Amino acid sequence: MSQLCKLFGTHLKLAFREKQVWFWSIFYPVILLVIFGFIFGKVNDGSSFEAKVAIVQAAPNQVSKQLLQTLSRIPQLELDGDASISQANAMEKLKQKKVDAVITLPQQASSGTIQIWLHQEKIQTTTSQAIKGIVESVAQHLNWSIAEVQPAIKVQSNTVSVGKDDLKYSAFLLTGLIALSISQSGLFNMVQHIELQRTGLLRRLRMTPMSMMTFSLASILVKWVLATIQIVLLTFAGIWLFGATLHIDLLGLLLIFTVGTLSFAAMGYFLVSLSKSMEMYVGLANLASFLMMFISGIFFDVNMLPAFMQSLSHFVPLTYFANGIRDTMLYEMSLSSGALWNNVFILVLWGAGAVIAASLIMKRKKLK
């Protein structure tokens, strides 16, 4: 324990002396939160959706005027100029990407077709699908009005939350990015070990009575200190910038946060043990981080993924860390929950396995 405390203090001083630690462990996660928050938050928040459209009314009539009036009142659609624009000019604006779509109104009141022109390469995007849905809905209601038909069945959309009613997607995204940032910090912040190998200091340390397990554990504990700073900054940034509402169980959060942080730091140490150079270490860390990022439910629900990727997500440690962080920060999941302990158990297996494997590899590894 005396060795561990001294090594912890040494690793902590070395970590904060490195300027790159301040950026990658503290400022980079906040930058990541802001970027992904504005990108994914805007896409998934229906109130912030907005598209710019050009409306062509070549031959004004009763139907086209009613359609134009209805479309102009929809807040998600920003009209480019007025409806007197010609079809050719509107299409040119679409090709130049000055508008997201061109809507051509029918030229006859008795019959006609509303034509929607979209970017071919963006036909499957959320914006294009939303524009089509809005115009189709307006046309349907107009048809009912013309035919004087009162629909007998109406559709009403409602929502229900697993937790409190004030939870929004911004909170879901925030907690996922907290888990992602801490995991990446653990995987990437073992650079000093590579430097120790390169300079030959690690070989000298191994010749001392000190246990490599103790040396590694002290370094891993430093990652817990850095991760604590991360989660505090990210939480305040998410609440301040995106208005995320959180419902935290402190004891549950402390448990999953500590276990997850130490486990990913252990995985980073395992990657170091496999690496012979800085390039190899960064490559392995990037590969692991990239694979986990998109199949662990960080940005969207895992159920949206293909079936085979959903199966893979059950073997990814970040899945359980993100679930644990969300459960304790959004749904006030306490220590009495079996689901929380399941996430903890999986992370402990990954962390313990990584430490044991890394220690065995480092003992047999030929160092300079």
Same domain, 100 and 201: no
Cβ within 8 Å of residue 11, ≥6 positions away: 192, 218, 219, 221, 222
Domain termination site, one of 147, 179, 206: 147
Quick one: pLDDT band at residue 254, thresholds 50, 70, 90?
very high
Same domain, 284 and 210: yes
Angle between helical axes of 28-44 and 169-188 (0-180°, round to 10) = 150
Phi and psi for 291 in degrees, rounded to 5? -65, -40
Same domain, 293 and 184: yes
CB half-sphere exposure, 8, CA atoms < 13 A? 15
Measure CA of the first residue to CA of the last residue in the chain; give whole Å: 29
Same domain, 78 and 176: no
Give the residue-averaged pLDDT of 23-38. 65
Same domain, 181 and 313: yes
Same domain, 202 and 297: yes
**CATH at residue 125:** 3.40.1710.10
Same domain, 126 and 7: no
Whole-model pTM above 0.75? no
pLDDT of the residue at 186 = 83
- Span 58-73, pLDDT tens digits: 888 888 888 888 888 8
Calculate the CA 12 to chain-centre distance: 29
Same domain, 107 and 219: no
* Domains identified in the chain, total number: 2
CA distances from 27 to 33, 36, 120 (A): 10, 14, 39
Give the residue-averaged pLDDT of 293-312. 76
Same domain, 189 and 221: yes
| Residue 325 contacts residue 333 (beta carbons within 8 Å) | no
- Structural domain including 314 reads 2-43+168-364
**For residue 346, what are its two tokens?**
């999986």
- Span 95-136, pLDDT tens digits: 888 888 999 988 876 667 888 998 876 776 667 888 888 888
Phi and psi for 52 in degrees, rounded to 5? -100, 125
Number of other residues whose CB lies within 10 A of the CB of residue 367: 15
Is position 160 within any domain? no
Number of other residues whose CB lies within 10 A of the CB of residue 193: 22
| Residue 225 contacts residue 265 (beta carbons within 8 Å) | no
Same domain, 243 and 346: yes
What is the helix (H) or strand (E) element at residue 102, kind and residue range?
Answer: strand 101-104
